Amino acid sequence: MKRRAVLIGCIALWLGAPGAAGDAHEEAVLRSSRSSVSAGASLPLSGSDFAGSETYQLKLLGVLNEYDVGQVAADSAGVFTHQLTIPADVTPGAYQVVAVASDGDVVARLHITVLGGGAGGAASQAGDHSGGADQEGDPSSAARHDDIRIERDRSGMEWGVIGLVIGLAAGVGLGLVRKAVA
Amino acid sequence: MNETASSPEPRDEGATGRRLALEALDYAIPRGANRWTYMLGGLTAFLIVVLLLTGVYLAQFYNPTPAGAHDSVLYIIARAPFGDWIRSLHYWATGAVTLTISAHLAYVFWRRSYKRPRELTWWAGVAMAGLLFLLIVTGTVLRYDQEGFEALAHFVSGGGLTGAIGTFFTEGFTRSTSLLARIFSLHTNLLPLLLVGLMALHFWLIRHLGIDANYSETSTFRTHATRLMGVSLLVLAFLGLLALFAPENLGYRPVAGVEITKPLWPVLWVYGLENLLGVWGMVVGPAAVFAFLAAVPLLDRGSDDRPGLRGWVSWLGVLLGIILVALWLFGVFGPRQQHLGM
């Protein structure tokens, strides 16, 4: 009976737990007539269903980087249009434009692709497999077969869990082998 | 199945054991099946489970688009909780499963366990080895660094060489999605599904045809499974340490039109063959190896089923093994070469 009560309590806690904070109030809508934009270029942006007469911070979220890309103010109907300028130093890749309310909540999100800047290096990064068509000069000068140096930042909790998994696997494994031999 | 020995006395199960029907594991198997050489198949199955679980986790963070793939792998390494360790565990388990399935295949070949009535068991095993090979090369593509991009270019080139069969591996197959996304789908859906299905068939056949070993002395499958699970967990702990202290890295974002990397070590024998035959090596080599393995039960049909090197098929297998090792060494120590003419 007690075990059942604990189980029901755990399920209730799990169901009642708040979702990811960033997704809590995403009821507004961000749109653009384009899904991709070059670094340094502008992206036409429109918003609707925002809270009327509120100001929102726009951010460009990459997988690893984050950029502040200005502010927009919705009119009394909760609508705005805006020309979003992508910083020239943004690396090509998949990004999200998010509108952040004054309380820090993300209220709308738009997925875009940032393309490599038009001018420039000896070779572009391969954005699709047709690659090479937009390259100038000798591409091999930009290609590297070595590895990136990556900062691996592991939290104490991660160390603990990984250590526990390895320790449990080793301990239980040894125990089972001994049991089978016996 | 060799039913020469009776099952041992059933042991007293606890309530949980009865609910789990653990007594079903107490059927007789040859005592010799508890040797490590008979655990290679089970260990391979365990490692496949590790690969499936770690793969499912990695897929939650991976972005299978040309624009986002490389960054998402960087994210997995640098930001995703446990991402670096789980990705490295996936990498090291790939190496381990290559070793265990190769050793298992070699041992079964030496024992000549492919002979009647176990031909289908052998074919299922060979097909699984082929699927694992495909999983390794499709997994390499997903890195989407220079090495991954060159692996993708090999798919495209191989697709071009093999005509209608290879159309799937070209960008021209469809405009609606990228080849990278379709290879991701292959790697995470179709190939694992086929692999699990073949594993089920393999285990079913082993259960019903019996293990090819001497049944004069028996043990129980539960003892075998206990020992196998113990060894498997020890291997997992070792791989976990490797993943922690020798994590797998990632190359730079790819540059199209160049070929400067070598593939992952299980595929280096194909690279060595490409150094000799050009791009056709990647088609001819694996096709020849798997065609030979598939043909073995059909070629070696005599009534003599004693283990060892008997008959020309066995010696042909040894010759093929030596050639593979030589090609692998050539791939490791040979020069970096361009094979695709990019």
pLDDT tens digit sequence for B16-40: 888 888 888 889 999 888 888 999 9
Quick check: B89 and B243 in contact, CB under 8 A?
yes
pLDDT of B11 above 90? no
Q: Do A173 and B251 touch (CB under 8 A)?
A: no
Q: Is B110 helix (H, G, I), strand (E, B) or coil?
A: helix
Rounded to the nearest angstrom, the minimum Cα separation between B30 and chain A is 15
pLDDT of B43 above 90? yes
B336 or B50: which carries more pLDDT confidence? B50
Residues of chain A contacting residue B43, judged by C-beta atoms under 8 Å apart? none
Q: Cis link prior to B117 (omega < 30° from 0)?
A: yes
Predicted local confidence at residue B328, as pLDDT:
96
Give the relative orientation of helices B119-143 and B69-78 as an angle to the nearest 10 degrees: 90
Predicted local confidence at residue B194, as pLDDT:
98
Predicted local confidence at residue A80, as pLDDT:
96
Q: Give the residue-averaged pLDDT of B125-137.
A: 97
Cα distance between residue B54 and residue B51, in whole Å: 5
Cα distance between residue B234 and residue A180, in whole Å: 14
Interface test with A, best of B11, B144, B242, B258 (most A CBs within 10 A): B258
Residues 6 or more apart in contact with residue B40 via CB below 8 angstroms = B100, B101, B103, B104, B107
Interface test with B, best of A128, A136, A164 (most B CBs within 10 A): A128
Cα distance between residue B125 and residue B131, in whole Å: 10
Q: What angle do CA B208, B212, B217 make, to 5 degrees?
A: 95
**Which candidate, A45, A180, A71, places its Cα nearest to that of B221?**
A180
Q: Do A152 and B84 touch (CB under 8 A)?
A: yes
Amino acid at the residue B117: P
Rounded to the nearest angstrom, the minimum Cα separation between A73 and chain B is 30
Q: Give the residue-averaged pLDDT of B77-93.
A: 96
If contacts are CB pairs under 8 Å, which of residues 101-120 in chain A contact chain B?
A: 113
pLDDT of B341 above 70? no
Option in B156, B241, B255 nearest A125 (CB): B255
pLDDT of B54 above 60? yes
Give the relative orientation of helices B146-161 and B281-299 as an angle to the nearest 10 degrees: 70
Both tokens assigned to A168: 């449990």
What separation, in Å, do the N-terminal and C-terminal C-alpha atoms of chain A show?
Answer: 38
Residues of chain B contacting residue A140, judged by C-beta atoms under 8 Å apart? 255, 257-258, 260
What separation, in Å, do the N-terminal and C-terminal C-alpha atoms of chain B show?
Answer: 55
Q: Give the residue-averaged pLDDT of B203-212.
A: 92
Give the full edge-to-edge strand order of the sheet including A80-85. Answer: A29-31, A42-48, A80-85
For residue B232, give the chain A residue with the closest CA. A173
As a whole-number percent, the residues of chain B with pLDDT over 90 amount to: 70
**Which candidate, B224, B180, B192, places its Cα nearest to that of B43?**
B224
Handedness of CA B127, B131, B132, B133 (dihedral sign): positive
Q: Give the residue-averaged pLDDT of B238-256.
A: 94
pLDDT of B188 above 50? yes
Residues 6 or more apart in contact with residue B75 via CB below 8 angstroms = A63, A64, B61, B83
Cα distance between residue B171 and residue B179, in whole Å: 5
As a whole-number percent, the residues of chain B with pLDDT over 70 amount to: 96
Residues of chain A contacting residue B91, judged by C-beta atoms under 8 Å apart? none
Predicted local confidence at residue B113, as pLDDT:
92
ipTM, interface predicted TM-score of the complex? 0.85
Cα distance between residue A110 and residue A90, in whole Å: 17
Q: What angle do CA B220, B221, B227 make, to 5 degrees?
A: 100
Predicted local confidence at residue B211, as pLDDT:
86
Q: Which residues of chain A have pLDDT under 70?
A: 1, 16-25, 117-142
Quick check: B334 and B275 in contact, CB under 8 A?
yes
The answer to whether B180 contacts chain A (CB < 8 Å) is: yes
The answer to whether A137 contacts chain B (CB < 8 Å) is: no
Both tokens assigned to A23: 């997704």
Q: What is the CA radius of gyration of chain B?
A: 22
Counting every residue written for chain A, the total comes to 182
Residues 6 or more apart in contact with residue B238 via CB below 8 angstroms = none
- DSSP for A31-50 reads E-S-SEEETTSEEEEEEESP
For residue A146, give the chain B residue with the closest CA. B251
In A102-157, beta strands by DSSP E? 106-115
B336 or A169: which carries more pLDDT confidence? A169
Predicted local confidence at residue B263, as pLDDT:
93
What are the residue ranges of helices labelled H in chain B? 15-19, 40-59, 69-78, 83-111, 119-143, 146-161, 179-185, 191-209, 221-245, 268-277, 281-299, 311-333
Handedness of CA A73, A75, A77, A80 (dihedral sign): negative
| Tens-digit pLDDT profile for residues B103-112 | 999 999 999 9
Quick check: A29 and A48 in contact, CB under 8 A?
yes
Q: How far is CA B331 from CA A126, B166, B260, B270, in A?
A: 26, 25, 13, 8
Both tokens assigned to B49: 């489970």
Other CB atoms within 10 Å distance of the CB of residue A160: 10
**Which candidate, B132, B154, B115, B104, places its Cα nearest to that of B270?**
B154
**Which candidate, B305, B50, B45, B49, places its Cα nearest to that of B201?**
B45
Q: Do A148 and B252 touch (CB under 8 A)?
A: yes
- Mean of the per-residue pLDDT values for chain B? 91
